[in-house]
Every structure is written in C-alpha cells, then in structure tokens.
C-alpha cells in the first residue's frame, strides 16, 4: 500500500499540516499566522480562505503532488456531542459550522473539517474528521453536576486520547473493545478518562474541572469562586484568562514549564516542590476516581501529553496508580498521526465510517 494522506490541525497561531505515506510521515510543517494576519478577522470561521491558501502554498513549496493524495483529514472541533470515530465531512456539518448554533465554543479546531473539505473537494477526494473535541460517550450517571443548570459536558483531548487507547490496546495484545483503561492526558489542560470497552464513559472537562495543570485551575472551591466573581475586581474575560491561561502551576510559581519548576525544587525551593507534588497528587487522585468509575476493573493506565516527557511526573503517577494496573507511557500529542490513523482504520475496513447527521 502506498496511500498518501494530508492531515490538517488548525491552532490559535498556526496550522500544522502533515503528509503521510500510510502511517509514516513524509513531512510535517507548521504554517504560522502572525497576530497582524489574524487581527482583521472578526471570527475564526472567516480565516478559512486565508488558511487554505497558506496550506496550499506550503504544500507547493514542499513539491507535493496533490493528485497523488488519497484523502484529506482535518481536526474535529467543539461540535455538538458525537460518538468517537472517523466521520466523512458532509454538507450538514459544513452548514452547522457556518451557522454556529451547534458549536460549543469558537475555537480554531472548528476549521479543521472545512479546511480538509476545501482542499479535497476540487481534487475529487474524500475529506474526514476524527474524534473531535466534543466526543461524548459519557454514561448517564456521569452527567449531573449537582445543579440542573450546569450539566457536565464532555469536552476533552479526545483525538490524542483515543489514539493512545489504541496503542495501549496493541501493547496488551488485545482489541480496544475488550479492555478497560484509565488515560491521563497531561498538557496545558488535563483530561483524565475512564475508557470501558473502547468507550469514553467519563472524563473531566479540561476547562471546567479535574486537576489543576500548568496553566488551568481545574476544579475550584465554589463559594470562593462566587465571591471572586462578585468582588467587582474582575471582568468576565479577565476571570476566564485567569482560570484557563494563567492558573495552575503558572499562578503559583510564575512558570508553566514543569521542567523549570522541578529545577527550582531540586535547587531547594520548598514552594516549587510543594506545588509540583500537589499537582501530581491531583493527577493521581483523578485517575483513581476514573478507576472507581470502572469498578476497579482496569487493564492498564496510559499517560500521555506534554508532561509525559517528564520522568519525575511519570514516576509520581506510577507510584500512585501502579497498584491498579501496568502504567504505560506515550509522551506528547501526536495529533496529525492520530488523524491519519483514524482515516486508515476506515480505509482498511477495520472501523466503519461514521455519518454526521
């Protein structure tokens, strides 16, 4: 087999692209967008033609023969709740994205599928998206939060989490739909997930709860949060920035780099060590909660995301969770690879193509 696939992952200040031959990268590129280039767009959706043209220029610069492509795949965004899997981009999805009424947030990932379609359609190729941020397979008892006006939402790093789940299943030599696992995605946001027989039955929303991370606060004391909101000292945008971009490790230590914080701790900073221990303690505690959601029937614990590169963090998780099951480590966030693997599963017939409706 010699199929070429183009994968597209739009972010806030760049669009990552990769051309893969089967599951192996031919090249990957990061098409950067300067702040002044983005300033003229009122919405993220309006950036589509600009990003499309820059992607095509980058592909031309790499000498890519678009006629050899078999398919194009883009990252799925904050769509309406969907089951995990690989979806063909269709008119209904494009209409919903343009209308915006079913989107749960205005995020660059929402451009992934339209970009894939915009490049694939003139070439007569299929376009796909895989395991969007809005993958929702939560069981009913996981949805109530404690008040009916605030239901729990399933928004997570589903793309990387699902790929890691497949890799963990391969390591165990068993099909994904026959095993249970806890997956900890540790990045600037943290998603800890209970996966039962291939389904993500529970997850903490990385923006709304769970452990604090390098930049996000995770769960906060409710009454204290209410006092802060009504103190008159902060606007809503200031609070969102405080909780989602300037919280967690950054708010305590002035750095969101775990390695730098660990260097301080090893140099004698008791504060740095205390906060690092608190953060990893919360990772372990949330992992234990997800193991309880699986009634203790756990075949493995998988650790992924940027923080999984840090041996100290990984060892703390091993110490806390290895009593459950073997701890497997898959560092980083290989989202382009995850997109490609999702399409290959469909093209190979090992997983059925899903229809967005």
Q: Tell me the average pLDDT across 340-357.
A: 96
E runs forming strands in the chain: 4-10, 14-21, 24-32, 69-75, 86-88, 127-130, 180-186, 190-196, 199-203, 300-305, 327-331, 354-355
R_g over Cα of the chain: 21
Q: Tell me the average pLDDT across 137-149.
A: 97
The contacts of residue 183 (CB under 8 Å, 6+ apart) are: 161, 164, 165, 168, 191, 192, 193, 195, 301, 302, 303, 304
Does residue 149 fall inside a structural domain? Answer: no
Q: Tell me the average pLDDT across 247-255.
A: 97
Range of the domain at 231: 158-331
pLDDT at 236 over 80: yes
The contacts of residue 180 (CB under 8 Å, 6+ apart) are: 194, 195, 196, 197, 294, 297, 298, 299
115 within 8 A of 8, measured Cβ to Cβ = yes
pLDDT at 117 over 90: yes
Does residue 76 fall inside a structural domain? Answer: yes
Does residue 197 fall inside a structural domain? Answer: yes
Token pair of 256 as six digits: 């969101």
Do 347 and 291 fall into the same domain? no
pLDDT at 293 over 90: yes
Identify which has the larger pLDDT, 155 or 318.
Answer: 318
Do 109 and 209 fall into the same domain? no
Do 293 and 168 fall into the same domain? yes
For 146, the 3-state DSSP assignment is: coil
Q: Tell me the average pLDDT across 135-139.
A: 97
Residue-level pLDDT at 37: 84
Q: Tell me the average pLDDT across 154-183.
A: 96
Do 179 and 320 fall into the same domain? yes
Q: Beginning with the edge strand found earlier in the chain, give each strand of the sheet holding 86-88 in spatial order.
A: 24-32, 14-21, 4-10, 69-75, 127-130, 86-88, 354-355
Residue-level pLDDT at 1: 66
Spatial separation of the C-alpha atoms in residues 205 and 71, rounded to whole Å:
31
Q: What is the mean pLDDT of the chain?
A: 96
Do 299 and 210 fall into the same domain? yes
CATH, residue 325: 3.30.420.40
Phi first, then psi: give them for residue 127, nearest 5 degrees: -125, 150
Report residue 92 CA to chain centroid gap.
24
Token pair of 28 as six digits: 């990957």
Does residue 152 fall inside a structural domain? Answer: no
pLDDT per residue as tens digits for the range 3-26: 999 999 999 889 999 999 999 999
Does residue 151 fall inside a structural domain? Answer: no
Residue-level pLDDT at 43: 86
DSSP letter at 277? H
Q: Beginning with the edge strand found earlier in the chain, give each strand of the sheet holding 190-196 in spatial order.
A: 199-203, 190-196, 180-186, 300-305, 327-331
Distances (CA, A) of 32 to 29, 188, 214: 9, 20, 24
Residue-level pLDDT at 213: 97
Q: Tell me the average pLDDT across 285-309.
A: 98
Residue-level pLDDT at 12: 86
42 band by pLDDT with thresholds 50, 70 and 90: confident
Do 133 and 273 fall into the same domain? no
Do 239 and 287 fall into the same domain? yes
pLDDT per residue as tens digits for the range 124-135: 999 999 999 999
Does residue 116 fall inside a structural domain? Answer: yes
Q: Tell me the average pLDDT across 237-262.
A: 97
Do 279 and 168 fall into the same domain? yes
Does residue 147 fall inside a structural domain? Answer: no
Residue 233's Cβ-side half-sphere holds a number of Cα atoms within 13 Å equal to: 6
pLDDT per residue as tens digits for the range 177-196: 999 999 999 999 999 999 99
Residue-level pLDDT at 150: 96
Spatial separation of the C-alpha atoms in residues 161 and 288, rounded to whole Å:
17
User: Strand pairing partners for 16?
Assistant: 9, 30
pLDDT at 310 over 90: yes
Nearest C-alpha neighbor of 38 from the set 108, 138, 134, 104: 108
Do 267 and 321 fall into the same domain? yes
Do 38 and 133 fall into the same domain? yes
Do 324 and 339 fall into the same domain? no
CB atoms < 10 A from the CB of 255, how many? 15
Does residue 153 fall inside a structural domain? Answer: no
Q: Tell me the average pLDDT across 139-156.
A: 95
Task: Report the number of distinct structural domains present in the chain.
Answer: 2
Token pair of 72 as six digits: 């194009």
pLDDT at 29 over 80: yes
Do 173 and 308 fall into the same domain? yes
């Amino acid at each position: 087999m010699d199929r070429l696939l183009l994968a597209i992952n739009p972010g806030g200040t760049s669009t990552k692209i990769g051309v893969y031959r089967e599951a192996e990268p031919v090249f990957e590129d990061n098409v950067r967008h300067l702040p002044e280039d983005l300033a003229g767009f009122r919405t993220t959706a309006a950036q589509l033609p600009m990003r499309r043209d820059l992607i095509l220029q980058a592909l031309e610069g790499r000498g890519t023969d678009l006629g050899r492509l078999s398919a194009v795949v883009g990252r799925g965004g904050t769509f309406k709740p969907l089951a995990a899997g690989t979806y063909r981009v269709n008119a209904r999805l494009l209409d919903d994205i343009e209308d915006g009424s079913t989107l749960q947030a205005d995020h660059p990932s929402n451009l992934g599928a339209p970009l894939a379609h915009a490049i694939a359609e003139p070439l007569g190729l299929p376009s796909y998206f895989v395991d969007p941020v809005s993958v929702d397979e939560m069981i009913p008892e996981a949805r109530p939060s404690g008040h009916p006006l605030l239901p729990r939402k399933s928004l997570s790093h589903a793309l990387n989490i699902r790929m890691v789940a497949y890799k963990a299943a391969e390591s165990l030599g068993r099909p994904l739909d026959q095993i249970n696992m806890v997956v900890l995605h540790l990045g600037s946001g943290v998603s800890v997930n209970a996966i039962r027989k291939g389904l993500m039955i529970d997850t903490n929303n990385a923006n709304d709860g769970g452990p604090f991370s390098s930049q996000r606060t995770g769960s906060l004391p409710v009454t204290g949060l209410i006092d802060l909101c009504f103190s008159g000292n902060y606007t809503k945008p200031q609070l969102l920035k405080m909780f989602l971009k300037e919280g967690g490790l950054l708010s305590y230590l002035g750095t969101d780099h775990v390695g730098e914080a660990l260097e301080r701790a090893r140099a004698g900073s008791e504060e740095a060590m205390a906060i690092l221990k608190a953060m990893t303690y919360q990772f372990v505690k949330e992992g234990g909660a997800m193991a309880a959601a699986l009634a203790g029937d756990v075949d493995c614990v998988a650790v992924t995301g940027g923080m999984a590169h840090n041996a100290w963090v990984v060892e703390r998780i091993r110490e806390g969770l290895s009593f459950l099951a073997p701890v497997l480590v898959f560092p980083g966030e290989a989202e382009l690879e995850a997109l490609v693997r999702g399409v290959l599963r469909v093209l190979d017939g090992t997983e059925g193509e899903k229809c967005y409706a």
